[in-house]
Amino acid sequence: MKKIAFLFPGQGSQAIGMGLDFYQEYSFVKELFDMAEEITRINISKLCFKGPMEDLTATVNLQPVITAVNLACLAAIQKEGIKPEISAGHSLGEYSALCASEVVSTQDIFELVLKRGELMHRESIKHKGAMHAIIGLSIDAVSELVAKVQTEGIVSVANHNAEYQIIITGSPDRIKEVSSLAATQKARVVPLRVSGAWHSELIRGAENEFKDFLKTISFSTPKHLMVHNVTADFAMNPDEIRSIMAKQLCSPVKWYDSMRKLIEERTEIFVEIGPGRALAGLLKKILPNDYPCKIYNVNNLKNLEKFLKEVA
């Protein structure tokens, strides 16, 4: 069997209608949605299949909703007996990876993402924030620009998504300053439609409360390896993983380094599990030209069938 990595998307991959064919096809997916709705008290199926988009994209709703779709797609794969050698998830998607690695139960995952969404929403109301994508500069170049502006206010790197795709986060005025400096260096700047400055000091007020909540959740030794956003490395001790997940809230997402780690491990099959194709797109930018691998998306029944036909 070739070495398989499961990759799970986070916020930003949502679309109305996501997960509908799995929901209609599999009774176990409907049961998963029912369980998630009972735990979260959110009408996840309605938001997924009918929207409206404004309600779907509200952070407090979106985190459980994206997680439900990710785990529905995962369950359809697991039904065929396919398991990953390694898992990774982008920001919110890391919680789906915890489930795939059998570190945290499905029920507890929904408890976690519900709490995470509520706390992030609360802090975003207290502290207005913004996020911009800086495309065309290296992480060192963006970090230098951030350091120039940091003395005047809160701004930092949120995500290192690809070698030349960096997301910055922080107060709107400081974000604009960094973006203006980046533009003078011929970078492309893309404002992101987000409701808060995720992975920044502006939501630090949620960290201790979330850390305490994590202590109420049972963490197990991973049955399959997992690369973490905060470290771009593996961890096997349950207490260490819990500590990493507490830090993840305000720390940068080291996605580029995480994918380089999977390449070092000679991963041969990458499967993006959940809505959209954002992670597959980033991966294609990161992979060396001569690297031998296959990339799949499993976000509908047709893609699942193709994946199973070629891999199972």
> Which residues does the annotation mark as catalytic?
91, 199
- Sequence-distant (≥ 6) Cβ neighbours of residue 289 within 8 angstroms: none
Pairwise CA distance, residues 283 & 37, whole Å: 33
Q: Kindly give the pairing relationship between strand 130-135 and strand 188-191.
A: antiparallel
- Rg (the chain; Cα; Å): 19
Angle 93-100/59-78 helices, nearest 10 degrees? 30
